Amino acid sequence: MAINWFPGHMAKTRREIKENLKLVDAVIEIRDARIVKSSKNPDVDDICGNKPRIILLNKSDLSEGSITKEWIKSLSNENIRVSGVNCITGEGLKGIKPLLNDLLKEKHERMKAKGIVNIIDRVMVVGIPNVGKSSFINKMAKNNIAKTGDRPGVTRSRQWIKTKIGIELMDTPGILWPKLESEETQLNLAFTGAIKDEIMDIEELALNLIRRLQVDYADRLMTRYKLNELSEDPLENMNSIGRKRGAVISGGEIDYNRVSVMLLDEFRGGKLGAISLERP
């Protein structure tokens, strides 16, 4: 599977992020807690340099809690704070202000020494498509300023968003990197919807998801689809799921497209339970 998805607006966004970095005090990078490594844009380290950063592991309700804690410990350092959040419900977002205060302690002390009381921190929000940036911004601003959608590529232009807690957010469109080298990364991004389904072979993608889940989360597949046993062959398991869900067309053939769409939707919606596809 070879994916090279780098539309022109993403190249432009990369340049804008680099140019606008001087306007902000810190960066909030949002990743998917289920695929913490794959949902990291490797360009972000290079672009952001030593700028203070908070990494939010979004959709942490859909990942295994113990593995998310391992990621938080692994990624944290002197210049980076990490937290698990749910940008839809707002869980964990109250912890952002204290994290920011900790990271920008020296700046705040300098400003207070000058008699400045109402300190505004300006923060750039970055992340790959469909990772939850707009949901995060809307929750922080408590209104629907940023467009949201369950398909990548919804956010387009830069905008500043004010919050009531002394933080101004600079929104940026989601960007992927020019070439996705690892097939595992490609699949993880596609499983979670960061890459448009329209450019994927949806049936091949669902088959690969079954192949992955039958190794690490066999019990979830069996429970969700009421299977007595799993085969070593992912296609056999897809057939079993199709039959259990009545995705059968004339002649008893499995409707693979219907099974594929259903499986991916249920995985992305957390109906198979908390699943982490990557570990630190």
159 φ/ψ angles, rounded to the nearest 5 degrees? -155, 150
66 among the known binding-site residues? no
User: What is the Cβ-side half-sphere exposure of residue 264, based on CA atoms within 13 angstroms?
Assistant: 27
Confirm if 100 and 123 have CB atoms less than 8 A apart: yes
Tell me: is residue 150 an annotated ligand-binding position: no
User: Which residues are CB-contacts of 263 (< 8 A; sequence separation ≥ 6)?
Assistant: 206, 209, 210, 238, 241
User: Is residue 114 part of an annotated ligand binding site?
Assistant: no
Q: Please check if 271 is assigned to a binding site.
A: no
Residue 60 annotated as part of some ligand binding site:
yes
Chain-centroid distance, C-alpha 88: 12
174 assigned binding-site residue: yes
Report the distance separating Cα 195 and Cα 159, nearest Å.
24
Consult the annotation and say whether 134 binds a ligand: yes
Confirm whether residue 133 is marked as ligand binding.
yes
**Residue 197 is assigned to a ligand binding site:** no
Burial class (CB in 10 A: 0-12, 13-18, 19+), 175: buried
* Annotated binding residues: 58-61, 130-135, 174
* Annotated binding residues for GTP: 58-61, 130-135, 174
